[in-house]
Structure 1
Amino acid sequence: MRIISLITFFFIATTDVVFSQVVAPLRLQQKFISAQLQHASSQILTLAAHTPASQFPRTFEAGQHHFSNSDWWCSGFYPGTLLYLYEGTHKQELLRLALEKLEPLEKEKFNKGTHDLGFMLYCSFGNALRLTHDSARYRDILTTGAESLASRFSSVTNTIRSWDHKPWRYPVIIDNMMNLEFLMKMSKITNDHRFADIAVTHANTTLMNHFREDYSSYHVTDYDPQTGHVLAKKTHQGAFDESSWARGQSWALYGYTMMFRETGDKQYLEQAEHVAQFILTHPAMPSDLIPYWDFDKDKVDPSARTFARRDLRDASAGALNASALLELSQYVSEEEAIKYLRAAELIIESLSKEPYLAPLGSNGGFILQHSVGSLPANSEVDVPLTYADYYYVEALIRYQRLLEGLPVTS
């Protein structure tokens, strides 16, 4: 495992990397952003009214709510969305609902059977710590969770294992880039360099083994757990192994933008810009910048039953891109900043109206419509998804911060 020098670690652990915020004109108005936050906060109260005390919203399909237990990878998004909406509207009811939902989620800090603890714990308890500053309540929970996530790291593959099930030997999915923020933040909070070391090592290995020459990403890279050699590069949720599954590209964009913020390492910024270029200039990207579920969906046989509904958009990928591009715009030249900012604004505008924004009281209380979980598995197809809502609201909060002259992240 690559060891970070003491000087580098001291920089990462004790300071926030400071970047000069590019001054670019903001096209969306505060009134517009506030209206979307108010709509979302009213909508999520409908969802809250239907959500059992010990379960977590997953989706709404064919007029029925679908919930999960706390060990489902999406469990942290609902309380995280409530916390973001509290931040944006200052409605105490949203904070109360969020903190109540953290109670049945806390036990997942001991869960060593998943790589998704960043989603589960950092999106929820991490936001709670950031907004309430209650270190006595949340620090130990987050530290234990980070230890659980770190336990899945292998010094042979130099990665965090994603799944434990067959037929994979040691699978790592591009989604795992998102869980590194949890480790980076906890490295600073605890002054424990192991967390940052693991995150950086995983990011570097993924950089080497997950990307094609055009900077599109494979979904799954499978390693030999004994030697660390790459055995295969596959997909699990995309159209085919060599296709560019849309949300996978979004995970990569967001993950490497975040890693640049946390480390200041320019190779991560360069990677994020390359991925952004792939996404934004792809000929299959629609004019509203809400991508189809796979950029290569036209290369599959439409007569195949699995892909009969191949022309589906994925609002969750769009929301991810909006949030990531807002942050990326703060780290680049003015010309590039304006390009990323305008793209993010267009995505936010697209998601804030039909057909993506659900009318108040509809959609089971979920904010966005038309996301795709896994088309090949016929799972969560053209439905609302809890993480689509989370990243859409995060994008609104980030834009609100820019309007207020604040850094895009806090």
Structure 2
Amino acid sequence: MWKLAIDDAVQKTRDNIERFGRLFPHVSTDGKTYQLNPNDEWTDGFWSGLLWLSYEYSGDPALREAAVSTVRSFESRMEQNVALAHHDIGFLYSLSSVAQWFIEKDEAALALSVRAADKLLERWREKGAYIQAWGPLGDPEQGGRIIIDCLLNLPLLYWASEHTGDPKYKEIAIVHAEKSRRYLVRGDDSSYHTFHFNQETGEPIGGSTHQGYTNGSTWTRGQAWGIYGFALSYRYTKNPLFLETSKRLARYFIERLPEDSVAYWDFNVDVNDHTYRDSSASAIAACGWQELLEHLDASDPEVPYFRDALQRTMESLVQSYSTLNEPGAQGLLKHGSYHVRGNSSPDDYMIWGDYYYLEALLRMDTALRGYWYDR
């Protein structure tokens, strides 16, 4: 099953090179056709990552050429400082220039990746000791906000310390991860999407949501970011608290899955025949469980539990949510949800869903991994 799904995903990615040209896919709005942009969205690194994964798996030079072209686009984006005033620099550059460095040891890609890490450090707020998610310094609404998604941007900083020898990147990543663990993760192992601090004193104000159901609910994609993000922070730091936090979030996610093992868009939303799923949340969680399992001893009694959840979710994604039997489809994974309350692509293709779906498939069947750490 995995090989059939991988081959199908790689072929669709190859077909999309001609469809997309120099543009980048974001989400669909009709469940069929990707919205394209000229590399000015926070999601554009996922297309680059899809190309690099597909190239590594297939060895197809056309896929490499397309992937390298995206890195050139990201270099231009950095030079022109286009839409980089947010914390998602890691999503953009870990999957583009860092990926090229991992695969080809290209020195220009290395230099661009370090510049990206420096750009991410511009989000560090010394007074509050956190990486600000959105908005400029001092922004009255966004200035004191962290969000759980940032955990997947921290690997860029960990990596930068390893490759420059400068500890500042890792030190800041650790402080932010620890603050995320303390304030974004609730006592019952659920999570806030965002948390607010006083910008001048760093005093905690409270948690809220941006894309979840309510401030007190648990947005499933946020919970998935936490599973994978804390496991990756453990990989770089070996802090056992990060590993335990990943396990806590993973248990909560698994215990609340519906019968087909693919999450609804929020764990607290009322469920009926019209409630939206978020297949992208389950694809991210699957990658998180795979990362978590790599760090658990085989004798750990929870290993079979996590493996079973992974197997059930991946089988369901392939059999019921993928476009495996739809050869002309642009996307790989159906029924993703971007922003349900905002009525923004609540049941569509998500380019990050496609990326994590392929990453998870490759981890199931090959030695290939994503681009969050140097293999």
TM-score normalised over the length of structure 2: 0.91
Structure-1 residue corresponding to 2:191: 217
Following superposition, the deviation at residue 137 of structure 1 comes to: 2.1
> How far apart, in 1, do the equivalents of 2:324 and 2:37 lie?
22
TM-fit CA distance, 1:349? 1.3
The equivalent of 1:243 in structure 2 is 217
- Shift of residue 38, structure 1, vs aligned partner: 0.8
Task: Check if 1:144 corresponds to 2:115.
Answer: yes
Deviation by residue 1:283-314 (Cα, 9 ceiling, x = unmatched) = xx112221000000118xx8xxxxxx861111
Answer whether contact 1:358 1:366 (CA < 8 A) is retained: no
Q: Pick from 273, 283, 290: which aligns with 2:247?
A: 273
From 16, 19, 26, the equivalent of 1:50 is 19
Native 8 Å contact 2:262 2:282 kept in 1: yes
**Cα distance, 1:36 vs structure 2:** 1.5
The CA distance in 2 between the partners of 1:109 and 1:235, in whole Å, is 30
Paired amino acid for 1:324 = G
SS in 2 for 1:330: helix
Partner of 1:228: 202
Secondary structure at 1:226's aligned position in 2?
A: coil
TM-score after normalising by structure 1: 0.84
Amino acid at match of 1:286: P
What is the identity, as a one-letter code, of the residue corresponding to 1:344? Answer: L
The Cα shift of 1:402 comes to 5.4
Q: Aligned in 2, Cα 1:280/1:139: closer, same or farther, shift over 3 Å?
A: same
Structure 1 residue 65 displacement after superposition? 3.1
Separation (CA, whole Å) in 2 of partners of 1:89 and 1:375? 36
Report the CA distance between 1:124 and its aligned residue. 1.5
**2: CA distance between counterparts of 1:109 and 1:400?**
35
Give, in whole Å, the separation in 2 of the partners of 1:97 and 1:216.
39
Hey, what does 1:371 align to over in structure 2? 336
Partner of 2:165: 191
**Count of matched residue pairs:** 363
Q: Quote the offset at 1:399 in angstroms.
A: 2.0
Q: Which moved more, 1:224-233 or 1:73-82?
A: 224-233
CA distance in 1 between counterparts of 2:332 and 2:85 reads 30
Which residue type is aligned with residue 376 of structure 1?
R
The corresponding residue for 2:279 is: 315
Matched ranges for 1:58-73 at <5 A: 58-62=26-30, 63-73=32-42
What aligned pairs does 1:240-389 form with structure 2 within 5 A after superposition? 240-282=214-256, 285-298=257-270, 311-334=275-298, 335-363=301-329, 365-389=330-354
Q: Is the 8 A contact 1:37 1:396 kept in 2?
A: yes
Counterparts of 2:302 and 2:54 in 1: how far apart (Å)?
29
- Which structure 2 residue ranges, 5 or more long, are not aligned? none
Q: 1:154 aligns with which of 125, 128, 143?
A: 125
Going from structure 1 to structure 2, the CA distance change for 1:100 and 1:82 (only over 3 Å counts) comes to: same
Query: What's the secondary structure of 2:39's corresponding residue?
Result: coil
Name 1:207's counterpart in structure 2.
Answer: 181
| Partner secondary structure for residue 381 of structure 1 | coil
- In the TM superposition, 1:166-181 aligns within 5 A as 167-181=141-155
Query: Counterpart of 1:249 in 2: which secondary structure?
Result: helix
Structure 1 residues 295, 409: CA separation in 2 closer, same or farther (over 3 Å shift)?
farther
Structure 2 equivalent of residue 399 of structure 1: 364
Residues 31-85 of structure 1, C-alpha deviations (whole Å, 9 max, x = no match):
x3222211001112232222131x2111233254311232310010001011111
Question: Aligned partners of 2:124 and 2:64: how far apart in 1?
Answer: 34
Cα distance in 2 for residues equivalent to 1:379 and 1:219: 17
Q: How much does 1:267 deviate?
A: 0.6
For 2:57, the equivalent position in structure 1 comes to 88
Over the matched positions of the two proteins, sequence identity in percent amounts to 27
Alpha-carbon distance between aligned partners in 2 of 1:348 and 1:34, rounded to the nearest angstrom: 13
- Tell me the CA shift for residue 389 of structure 1: 0.7
Residue segments in structure 1 that go unaligned for 5+ positions in a row: 1-31, 303-308
Give the superposition deviation at 1:108.
3.6
How far has the Cα of 1:167 moved from its partner?
2.9
SS in 1 for 2:345: strand
Question: Alpha-carbon deviations, 1:113-143, whole Å to 9, x = none?
Answer: 1110100011121111111122x12111001
Contact 1:163-1:170 at 8 Å conserved across structures: no
Matching residue's letter, 2:129: N
Contact 2:132/2:143 (8 A) holds in 1: no
**Superimposed CA distance per residue, residues 263-284 of structure 1 (whole angstroms, 9 cap, x where no aligned partner):** 11101001011111111112xx
Distance 2:278 2:156 in 1: 25
Q: CA deviation at 1:188?
A: 0.2
